[in-house]
Chains A and B, each alone.
Chain A
Amino acid sequence: MLTRELLRYDRRGERLYPRLVDPTNVLLQNLVRDLALIYEAGIGQSREELTEEVVPLINSYRSPQIAKGVNKLLLDRCTFQENFDGQEALRWAIFTSAAKHLRAADMNDLVSYRLAVGRDLETDDPDQLAQRLHADLPVRQPLIAFEAVDPVPLIDRYNMALVQGPLIWADGLIIEMCEPDAARRRHFFRYLKWFQLMARITPIPHVANGFRLELDGPLSLFDVARKYGIKLAGFLPAVCALKQWKIMAQVRIGTEGAATLTLDDTSGLKSHFTQTSAYIPDEFSVFVAQFKEQVQEWKMQPNSPLLNVGGQEWAIPDFSFRHQTGCVVHLELFHRWHGGPLPKRLQNLDTLKKPVALAIGIDRALTKQPDLAPLLEASGWFRDHGFPFNQIPPVKRVVKCLESFLGGERAHAEE
């Protein structure tokens, strides 16, 4: 992220506008390329030496502040040597020698004193010895690695950082989102949990898969501002990975008054978060084909809604099924790599106040895990509406679980 003095934004009235840059700007791309070349070729050079090389480039760019910003992001991709064998021992030898001579009654001349210390360390050049004294200081550390990057992705990161910066001073964040892809939605909510943010989630009327989220944290209830700003800023790329999104935040940068930051998916912000969970296992595709072939009473629905399973807990079903009577039941599958939320989900489902038609399928590998096995054994919900599976959910077991909701208030409540 960018430090405060590198942030670029305009305040007009009570609105705050980040001054995003154009990633196709050839001059800026050239600057990033030139700066990156200095770091790529700079392995072995000290931070101080590298700074001397990049400063002319930064100062010659039409906006040194932009140049400093992209340079900061490039510096974040640098690794400098921090450990120096023998450096501490050298310092110790110098200090020990110095202590001896400093106490001597006849050492009033500074030049003689420095030469005496130098002689103890077997050098005639005390200036050179002084330079070696703190050779491991950050400004003197040599570059040992640089993670290369193309100009456009780096400029995209810069734009993201220009928005993340003000968000650090945000009390909370309001998001309006619409994402038809269930895997992407799951990915988004997984990040929400990862950043330990709390959300009030409400569906947006008449917008399929549209939700409004008010994000903050547990302490926000007591007007403690900014505690969650870093988490909100860190979470922003997950928002920008959605198909449609809009954010609103109240920010108070330093002692400046409050201002509103509003941005949406037309802003050009690009997420750098990877979409690993968008991957759909082949086994699930096989299940879909088998189900459609073998089952007539239930039809698979094209999209699954976000389901509230108590308090701030939300589930994104993998599949939704409509029975010929009109009842809708959802199915959430916990694959062997995604068992983390399972304990909490079981606890919520077993203590639900409002009915939810959610069947759960659990990979047998998870059912054998020592920490999960007793939870599954004790769960009434899993007994009534759950099943284990190996690789492909068995169609008959799935149908049996779906039927467990027929005639009950849960299935009807979902219509």
Chain B
Amino acid sequence: MIRIDFDQGTLVICGPAAELEPVAHWIRWDERIDCYRAEARRYGPIVLALHRAKIPYADNARTFAPQLFQPTNEQAPRPHQLAAFQAWVTAGHQGVVVLPTGSGKTLVARMAIARIQRDTLILAPTIDLTQQWHGQLTQAFGIPIGIMHGGEHRIESITVSTYDSGLLHMERLGSRFGLLVCDECHHLPAPSTRLAALMCVAPYRLGLTATPERTDGLEADLFDLLGPLVYRCEISELEGAFLSPYRLEQIPVILDPDERQAYDAAYSQYREFARSSGANFSRPNGWTEFIMICCRTKEGRAAMAAYRMQKHLARASRAKLRMVWKLLRRHRQERALLFTDDNATAYAIGETFFLPVITHKTKASERVRILDAFRAGEFPFLVNSRVLNEGIDLPEVSIGIIVSGNASIREHVQRLGRLLRPKEGKQAILYELVSADTAETFTSERRRKHAAYQRDLPAC
């Protein structure tokens, strides 16, 4: 009889070749163990094919079990949430749902968990998001929820993990869950992260994101790992009814004369070296090659220092800090989230205005405390580098201030999404501070190439 075992993120399948004919597409002979082997993600199709062909098999691979998850006090789904869930069910309990940030993706996941009734693993990109999921699921299902990230490791019938921890333990835990939910699933196709889904047997899969597109074009991998795109809805379809109305204000910031002079000198030095060294930034590996060139000579190292200097001046000039103070005063009775592109700027703002800061260096326990205090209104303003870009649920926040950012459209859309959680009477405003006549202008233009930003941008 055919026997299927789970082995370090793969399936070991022993049995007569003739009987394995229906699953031949997914298995390969492994001479190292004298047996067939398959990727763990093929578990569902393989057992289904054997079952349909009426071929008996001993399934020692799966260790997940039927459960009785009963949501308590669950809110009624909104039309877009119900449509997304139904599309996922119709697609065979596999697939990717694209909903704007703030539109309630987690409810779709909770509906999926209640529908499948099997041990479930939720993967999310950051510690803050895993903690948010943990809180929501505890409240929704009223049972102990497991959690895996840097500091914690507790497995339960519903477990939340960061992608990194999930990947780290998937060789051991890949057979433990029947439903895999990937939040902000556009992260999944990265070369190593994708293995988290590949090494998991879960036959039921749900991907959630607002921004499936990737600059490397690997979206196809996303659908290969989780199933097809089953539902998509854009911000414009929900704004007003289910998302807060919002306004965008781009504020050009004029550098002080001395900083302008320092910026121009540093920028010229770095560009001149790049030109003379033949660096080609349009090539895929151009920037890495430039760094290597810079390392080799004294002039190169000076050029790299100049690059960092002009970047710093554009990101965190005195003029920008003055504008931040002006905005903090303007919105002193509201809740505002400040975004920076790097930790140094985040801490500089924190130290200038005595504001709480969350970066990837902030301890997990302190993050929770700060976020709770911010949500409760104890602290009106919160600075973060990039860690709160995605998914984090802060309905009270109505003001966003982008002090600095990169050219990623996805990052920009996600930052806007932090402000769109609906609340009675809320009018969200996203400010974008851009150092005028610096490379930041170009960066800003690139990141605003999304439908959500194609509006009139009144200047301050």
Contact = CB atoms under 8 A, between A and B. Distances in A.
Nearest to B284: A255
A255 B356 contact: no
A198 B32 contact: yes
B191 A226 contact: yes
Interface string B327-361: 01100110000000000000100111111110001
Which residue of A105, A200, A219, A226 has the most chain B CB atoms within 10 A of its CB atom?
A219
Contact of A222 (B28, B192, B356, B379): B28
Interface in B187-228: 191-192, 195, 198-199
A98 B39 contact: no
A274 interface: no
Contact of B380 (A102, A129, A311): A102
A407 B30 CA distance: 34
B424 interface: no
Nearest to A105: B332
Contacts of A353: 34
A73 interface: no
B379 A99 contact: yes
A98 B7 CA distance: 55
Given A103-B333, A137-B361, A224-B198, A255 B355 contact: no
Size class of the A contact interface (CB-based, 8 Å): 35 or more
B100 interface: no
A108 B366 CA distance: 30
A219 B39 contact: yes
Contact of B195 (A5, A107, A224, A256): A224
Contacts of B28: 221-222
B192 A312 contact: no
Contacts of A138: 361
Contacts of A137: 347, 361
A379 interface: no
Given A219-B199, A255-B285, A102 B351 contact: no
B8 interface: yes
Given A88-B366, A103-B332, A218 B354 contact: no
Given A217-B8, A219-B199, A222-B28, A95 B356 contact: yes
Contact of B192 (A95, A217, A226): A226
B354 A64 contact: no
A218 B295 contact: no
Interface in B276-291: 284-285, 288, 291
Interface in A218-245: 218-219, 221-222, 224, 226-227
A30 B200 CA distance: 51
B445 interface: no
A64 B171 CA distance: 40
B362 to A, nearest CB: 10
Interface string B42-64: 00000000000000000000000
B331 to A, nearest CB: 10
A209 interface: no
A95 B379 contact: yes
A410 interface: no
A95 B379 CA distance: 7
B32 A312 contact: yes
Nearest to B36: A221
Contacts of A375: none
A217 B198 CA distance: 14
B191 A133 contact: no
Interface string A330-374: 000000000000000000000001000000000000000000000
Given A65-B295, A221-B28, A133 B195 contact: no
Given A108-B329, A137-B361, A221-B30, A130 B352 contact: yes
Nearest to B377: A99
Interface string B241-285: 000000000000000000000000000000000000000000011
Contacts of A255: 284-285, 288
Contacts of A224: 195, 198
A226 B198 CA distance: 14
Nearest to B355: A98
Contacts of B34: 311, 353
Which residue of B30, B34, B354, B355 has the most chain A CB atoms within 10 A of its CB atom?
B354
A213 to B, nearest CB: 11
Contacts of A133: 350-351, 354
A98 B353 contact: yes
A254 B351 contact: no
Given A103-B332, A218-B7, A224-B198, A5 B291 contact: yes
A322 interface: no
Nearest to A353: B34
A198 B195 CA distance: 18
A129 B10 CA distance: 55
Nearest to B33: A311
B95 interface: no
A77 interface: no
A133 B351 CA distance: 7
Contacts of A99: 378-380
Given A88-B366, A94-B354, A134-B347, A219 B9 contact: yes
Contacts of A198: 32
A222 B199 CA distance: 12
A131 B350 CA distance: 11
Given A99-B380, A218-B10, A254 B354 contact: no
B299 to A, nearest CB: 13
Interface in A60-108: 64-65, 88, 91-92, 94-99, 102-105, 107-108
Interface in A116-170: 117, 129-131, 133-134, 137-138
Nearest to B353: A98
A323 interface: no
A311 B195 contact: no
Contacts of A107: 329
A134 B351 CA distance: 8
Contacts of A110: 325, 352-353
Which residue of A129, A199, A312 has the most chain B CB atoms within 10 A of its CB atom?
A312
B418 interface: no
B381 interface: yes
A218 B8 contact: yes
Contacts of A221: 10, 28, 30, 37
A224 B225 CA distance: 14
B354 A114 contact: yes
Contacts of A200: 31-32
A404 interface: no
A199 B291 contact: no
A226 B190 CA distance: 13
Pairs of residues from A and B, 7 with the lowest C-beta to C-beta distance, nearest first: A98-B354, A130-B351, A218-B10, A311-B33, A255-B285, A218-B8, A312-B32
7 contacts: A64-B295, A92-B369, A133-B354, A219-B8, A219-B199, A222-B28, A222-B39
Given A88-B366, A130-B354, A254-B288, 5 more contacts: A95-B379, A98-B379, A99-B378, A102-B332, A226-B191
